[in-house]
Amino acid sequence: MTETVADAAHATFTIERVYPQAPARVFNAHADIGLKRRWFAEGEGFTLHHYALDFRVDGRETARFSFEGGPEVTMEMVHQVIVPDRLIVIAYRMAMGDQPISASLATIVFIANGGGTRLTYTEQGVYFAGGGDIQGREEGSRGLLERLAEVLAEGG
């Protein structure tokens, strides 16, 4: 682990997405454990072993899951900044067993857009050799924001 992990690659990406729901609704889907679990942690092909969310500054979110029978992956997040209905900044890391995959800072900005919301998701991260997949992270994040749209449309 130690040889590869110091080979750290940094990357930043931004995704913009407009939702028809108001900022308070879109924000709430990040704050409510039942809603967040649905769009963030429960996905096709994923087996979720553990999920917890404590939505407050310094509060954590943990997800342990496997994808299509693969090894267990752990996501550990801690909330850094919360401005209700406007802004969330989180720090999170991914690991496979003892092997760190990545560490990231993500900024989520909610701006009123007509009756809806323009959400801007910016992730600044460091990816460790053997685990990091920068391209896949951006695609995965885009998929999660799409899944969020579905949960909101279902009334979440």
List residues near a copy of itself by CB under 8 A.
Answer: 1-2, 5-6, 8, 10, 12, 58, 76, 78, 80-81, 83-84, 86-87, 89, 91, 93, 100, 103-105, 107, 109-111, 122, 124-126
Q: Tell the smallest beta-carbon distance from residue 51 to a copy of itself (Å).
A: 18
Q: Tell the smallest beta-carbon distance from residue 116 to a copy of itself (Å).
A: 16
- 3 state DSSP class of 113: strand
User: Which one, 93 or 147, has the nearer CB to a copy of itself?
Assistant: 93
User: Which one, 121 or 151, has the nearer CB to a copy of itself?
Assistant: 121
Task: Specify whether the CB–CB gap between 111 and 23 falls below 8 A.
Answer: yes
Task: Specify whether the CB–CB gap between 52 and 61 falls below 8 A.
Answer: yes
Dihedral angle, C-alpha 28, 34, 35, 39, nearest 10 °: 140
Task: Specify whether the CB–CB gap between 54 and 82 falls below 8 A.
Answer: no
User: Which one, 39 or 127, has the nearer CB to a copy of itself?
Assistant: 127
In whole angstroms, give the CA distance from residue 51 to residue 29: 15
Q: Tell the smallest beta-carbon distance from residue 150 to a copy of itself (Å).
A: 25
**Beta bridge pairs of residue 111:** 118
User: Which one, 64 or 86, has the nearer CB to a copy of itself?
Assistant: 86
